[in-house]
Copies of this chain bind each other. A is one copy, B any other.
Amino acid sequence: MAGSVNKVILLGNLGRDPEIRSFSNGNRVANLQIATSETWRDRNSGERREKTEWHSVAIFSEGLVKVAEQYLRKGSKVYIEGQLQTRKWQDQSGQDRYSTEVVLQGFNASLVMLDGRSGGGDFNGGGGFGGGSNAGSSNNELGKSSVGFDYAPFDDDLDDDVPF
C-alpha cells in the first residue's frame, strides 16, 4: 500500500538511562522509556489528577543510537518522531505475546534533545559537540558516510536560476 502514514510524536522524559545492545552483525539498538503525562481536573470531585503514560522506544539508526548513548540519561527531556511497530514473541510458556514500540529507523525518524542534562557529556560545551547536527535528526547519521546525508536544505547553487 503505497499510500499510508505511520507516525508517532512524543515529547517527554526518560524514566531511566538508555539501554543499548548490539546485534551479532554489529548493528545496535537503543531502548528508551519515555514518560508523557496529562493533568486534568476531575469533573465530579474537582480534584487535580494526573495520568502518566510510558512508551517503549527502540532506536535502530546508528547515528541516533550514538546520540542516545552519549547524551541521554534518566530524566532527559526529548522529542522523538518514529513509527508504531508491534512485535510478536513467545513467552516462557510458549504463548504468543505482543509488544508495541515506537521505532526510530531509517529516514523519517528524528530525535531532539531538549536539555543539557547529558551526564558526563559536553552537550553545550564549546566546539566539542561534533555530533551536533546529528542530534537533531537522523538525516545526518554518524558513521554512515556512504549515504548522502550532506544534503543542503536549500541548495545555493540554485539561487542563480530560481524559476519562481
Residues on A close to B: CB < 8 A? 1-13, 21-25, 27, 29, 31, 35-43, 48-55, 58, 77, 79, 81, 83-86, 97-100, 102-103, 105-108, 110, 112-115, 129, 132-140, 144, 146-155, 157-158, 160-164
Name the CB-closest residue of B to A78.
B3
Q: For the complex, what is the distance from the CA of A5 to the CA of B140, rounded to whole Å?
A: 15
Task: State how many copies of this chain the complex holds.
Answer: 4
Give 13 A-B pairs besides A23-B163, A41-B140 with Cβ atoms closer than 8 angstroms: A1-B13, A2-B129, A2-B133, A3-B112, A3-B113, A4-B35, A5-B81, A8-B84, A25-B161, A27-B155, A41-B149, A53-B86, A115-B115
Task: Give the Cβ gap from A49 to chain B, nearest Cβ, in Å.
Answer: 7
Inter-subunit contact A153/B106 (CB<8 Å): yes
Inter-subunit contact B110/A36 (CB<8 Å): no
Contacts of A4 in B (CB 8 A): 10-13, 35-38, 112, 136
Contacts of A35 in B (CB 8 A): 1, 4
